Structure 1
Amino acid sequence: MTSKKSDALHQIETYFDQGRFQSELARLVSFQTESQTGEAMPAMVSYLNDGIAPRLAAIGFDCTTCDNPQAHGGPIMVAVREERPDLPTVLIYGHGDVVHGQAGQWDNEMDPYTLRETDDRYFGRGVADNKGQHLINIAALEAVLAVRGAMGFNVKILMEMSEEIGSTGLAEFCAQNREMLAADVLIASDGPRVVADTPTLFLGSRGVVNFDLKVTLRDGANHSGNWGGLLRDPAMVLAQALASITDADGQILIPEWRPDSLTDEVKADLAAIPVEGDGIDPSWNEAGLSTAEKVFGWNSFAVLALDHGEPEAPQNAIAGSARATCQLRFVVGTDEADILPALRRHLDAGGFASVEIECVEGVAPATRSNADNPWVQAVAASLEDVMGKKPHILPNLAGWIPNHCFSEVLGMPTVWIPHSYKGCSQHAPNEHVLKDICRDALRGMVGVFWDIGGRSGLTRRDRRKSATEI
């Protein structure tokens, strides 16, 4: 480790230990940027223009806040710092919007928009998702620049304010601004580490589609004594249709929903990934797969909600309709365009033509970069050098992020470095980050950015290539 690199690491350690990270995070948390309410547009604009842009401008970024292509989407900021056209360009992503604050539901009467330090944690809405994570990356860039006097690479930062409502307009924005956003790699942070004390890389995300299955046989309900045994029960029809999608252990029975991408290479990558948690049932889902293969390398079907009759006050009546809200999480190797058509064919073949399929939202695609990409290997080596541990490398996150905007629309390899952990209460009361992870992540990102600026092997790629070629 060079002395200059150690100087940058010392600088970022001092930044954290003297409380600057805490105070800066507190300011970002104070912006009440709830995109789900539809009422926080002024706060979202202020977050970008007053919370983020001034500090980026201070280190040489040109910042532009743009309107979202979709009328109900939040603003999008693009910040560019170019040192030389022949240097590699890194695109960094973050989102400043948050979910509902859920005020009044936090422990000890905590205000979700006032940062609270308690022992080893910082509490506040957005500290994990995603304000704390992109603050770590920005602070790491500042530390490298302060010590080296230059990055040694070009940097573009894209900050959106609509991630919590499905990244509304982001794909369209990226498609409209390909040249402005052109880069050699995306390096971004969101989501949790696999294990709190070990760095994680993930290279994409599982896709997701939510849909309703509905059985409507008649208007209203009919007395179960007068009509029982004469009227077809929509709940029983729906229950049997649902039961036909998997076996009794949750193994998917629709052939088109069974991916072909769990190769020996992916299995080898997942062999070292620990997946732990209370209540894990080793017999659930696909037989013969490890827990890591099930959650990162396979598809999963879930029934999210059921609606039939009056559950709170059951009546002696046969309802006229029933509905289930369902979800398929899927990996690369699943034909996303055929997910719902395949379900339609399956239901019809099973005698369930009366079951309607209604897509609740559009299909969010699955994505995955190649683990042998030079950028992935370089980032992993940098993290190991600073942290002394090999990072866990996942082919994709189990959940969904808007990775397709970068891997597919912009056509670049994607490397995600999460700075949180699975117990952070993300999207719930008491959202928090662990102080040790924050300090560790600041050091790790300084190492990554320092090494990118000093590696001759990370040259500009041919941006005419498609995402599948990189």
Structure 2
Amino acid sequence: MSPYAPSSAFLRRNVPVIPAKLIHQAEEYVDSGAFFAELAAMVSYPTESARPESHVAVKAYLDEVLTPALEGLGCSVTEYDNPSGGPFLVGRRIEDPGLPTVLCYGHADVVDGHAGRWSEGRDPWTLTGDGDRWYGRGSADNKGQHLVNIAALRLLLAEQQKLGFNLTFLFETGEEIGSPGLAEFAAAHQELLRADVLIASDGPRLDATTPTLFLGARGGVQLQLDVDLRPDAYHSGNWGGVLRNPATTLAGAIGSLVDGHGRIQVPELLPPDLPDPVRASLAEVTVAGSPGDPAPDPGWGAPELTAAERLYAWNTLEVLTLGAADIDRPVNAIPGRARAVLQLRYVVGTDVDGIEEVLTGHLARHGYDMVEVSVLGRFAASRTPLDDPWVGWARRTLEQVTDQPVAVLPNIGGSLPNFVFTDILGLPTLWLPHSYPGCLQHAPDEHLLGSIAREGVVLAAALFHALGNPTDTEDPR
């Protein structure tokens, strides 16, 4: 629990009935085309954080889109410089210091647009509707998602002329390049960002049709294995069997870390256990439930775990790149060098401090002391406990307005800067995603599903309404 959190009694109160009028207004906002038009304006800003020249578009997006949107919610808005990267934008609305405070988060930046590589000649910076799919860079990651929350807050404010809670909205502009400076900004501005709970939207739902809450993210460590034996390549007929082959060496080294069936072979790279509450939360979760999803491969990964447990509650070591010489034009020569990049995706409880030394020692014991290990980058794992009172409150609220159970995941399989909120700001974190695994984020043809956007505005409005309108009757559970 946050040190600023309301009492458990506050969260055990019955969730108030969400006004039918508010639900209708949320649906109408999407059905009328207003959401599409607003998102189209957002997508038109090429806010690619990996391109230095895009700082002009990023600044314009903050000034021309987000600042007016936050001011429309009655927020005072301040932009903060970031010595490590792009700026931060913070909007604050204080209705009463005695009320709970919600911290919302979004990121204004997108990945490379991949212009010229989209199907049917689509422009990444023009939102294009094709049935339920709305194509455009940032439509799902993250502009469409933070628009859902802005729209829900706007509708609630228009309906009751107040939120019923205090609001802080934090936007960063470098999430797609690792959130440079975000942790330092949060540590230096804890009073500014003080809140009772984080409610944010990013990443995918469990699938296209299942409303989902997730509570954190797996961490990641990117590793490079380099076998640099000699500057030249030597004829395989004249030197085969005499010179060590760096590609063969690298393949063997990788096989000592993770076998050919995806099973991690280094105990230090595994979590200590799979907690019972996490296992229980995933018991009914089905992976790859949307049309077009690839089917999980039988026999891949830890055989004693279900697919959901492997994806959301366990560690995986993946080979991202692997190469030696010119793989498209091989010649009869033993290469001089081979290199691979691997990534460890890990859950809370895994000790990744000193991972370079751990892997170097492991490889040396297996006869691969010529393999150099280096860490290219890392991000932390984090998770709000499943029994946190905010989690039960959110689930009960959302299930009021959906005709099916809400999936609650301990964390997503991917990465988000959730640790900034849990570990630095001490907040429980509720992520309500409005995308799905097949949205093609980070690739050509990224898209948002209109049906998810429509349901998302309803769900977000319900969550914010419940927080601002608590009842006094104790929950009888």
Q: TM bucket by the smaller chain? A: over 0.9
Residue 267 (structure 1) aligned to one of 276, 279, 285: 279
Q: Looking at both structures, which has the greater relative contact order when contacts are Cα pairs under 8 Å and sequence separation is at least 6?
A: 2
Tell me if 1:160 matches 2:172: yes
* Partner of residue 441, structure 1: 456
Q: Could you tell me how far apart the structure 1 residues matched to 2:260 and 2:438 are? A: 30
* Partner of residue 74, structure 2: 60
Q: Could you tell me how far apart the structure 2 residues matched to 1:23 and 1:275 are? A: 33
Counterpart residue type for residue 320 of structure 2: L
Once the two structures are superposed, the pairs formed by residues 35-46 of structure 1 within 5 Å of their partners are 35-46=49-60
What secondary structure does 2:116 align onto?
A: coil
| Cα distance change of structure 1 residues 343 and 456 upon mapping to structure 2, 3 Å threshold | farther
> Do the aligned residues in 2 keep the contact of 1:383 with 1:389 (CA within 8 Å)?
no
* Partner of residue 400, structure 1: 415
Counterpart residue type for residue 41 of structure 2: R
Identity of aligned residues (%): 48
* Partner of residue 258, structure 2: 246
* Partner of residue 463, structure 1: none
Structure 1 residue 456 displacement after superposition? 6.0
Which deviations, in whole Å up to 9, do the C-alpha atoms of 1:163-198 show, x marking residues without a partner? 111111111111111110111111100111112112
* Partner of residue 79, structure 1: 91
> Do the aligned residues in 1 keep the contact of 2:226 with 2:340 (CA within 8 Å)?
yes
Between stretches 256-265 and 320-329, larger displacement belongs to 256-265
* Partner of residue 338, structure 2: 322
* Partner of residue 383, structure 2: 368
Unpaired runs of at least 5, structure 2: 1-14, 473-477
> Do the aligned residues in 2 keep the contact of 1:208 with 1:330 (CA within 8 Å)?
yes
Q: Could you tell me how far apart the structure 2 residues matched to 1:61 and 1:5 are? A: 25
Structure 1 residue 2 displacement after superposition? 6.5
* Partner of residue 360, structure 2: 344
Tell me if 1:390 matches 2:402: no
Q: Could you tell me how far apart the structure 2 residues matched to 1:204 and 1:442 are? A: 22
> Do the aligned residues in 2 keep the contact of 1:121 with 1:432 (CA within 8 Å)?
yes
What secondary structure does 2:310 align onto?
A: helix
Which deviations, in whole Å up to 9, do the C-alpha atoms of 1:257-296 show, x marking residues without a partner? 1112412221111101110242411211112100000000
> Do the aligned residues in 2 keep the contact of 1:69 with 1:172 (CA within 8 Å)?
no
Q: Could you tell me how far apart the structure 1 residues matched to 2:363 and 2:17 are? A: 65
- Number of aligned residue pairs: 455
Structure 1 residue 393 displacement after superposition? 0.6
Tell me if 1:313 matches 2:329: yes
Q: Could you tell me how far apart the structure 1 residues matched to 2:280 and 2:464 are? A: 28
> Do the aligned residues in 2 keep the contact of 1:261 with 1:332 (CA within 8 Å)?
no
> Do the aligned residues in 1 keep the contact of 2:218 with 2:381 (CA within 8 Å)?
yes
Unpaired runs of at least 5, structure 1: 458-470
Tell me if 1:284 matches 2:296: no
Residue 227 (structure 1) aligned to one of 230, 236, 239: 239
Counterpart residue type for residue 344 of structure 1: T
Tell me if 1:213 matches 2:213: no
Q: Could you tell me how far apart the structure 1 residues matched to 2:186 and 2:413 are? A: 24
Q: Could you tell me how far apart the structure 2 residues matched to 1:444 and 1:155 are? A: 18
What secondary structure does 1:210 align onto?
A: strand
Structure 1 residue 446 displacement after superposition? 0.5
> Do the aligned residues in 2 keep the contact of 1:69 with 1:173 (CA within 8 Å)?
no
Tell me if 1:112 matches 2:146: no
* Partner of residue 10, structure 2: none
* Partner of residue 150, structure 2: 138
What secondary structure does 1:41 align onto?
A: helix
* Partner of residue 126, structure 1: 138
> Do the aligned residues in 1 keep the contact of 2:18 with 2:462 (CA within 8 Å)?
no
* Partner of residue 422, structure 1: 437
CA RMSD, 1 decimal: 1.6
Which deviations, in whole Å up to 9, do the C-alpha atoms of 1:241-270 show, x marking residues without a partner? 111112332211111111124122211111
Q: Could you tell me how far apart the structure 2 residues matched to 1:261 and 1:24 are? A: 46
> Do the aligned residues in 2 keep the contact of 1:4 with 1:148 (CA within 8 Å)?
no
Tell me if 1:100 matches 2:112: yes
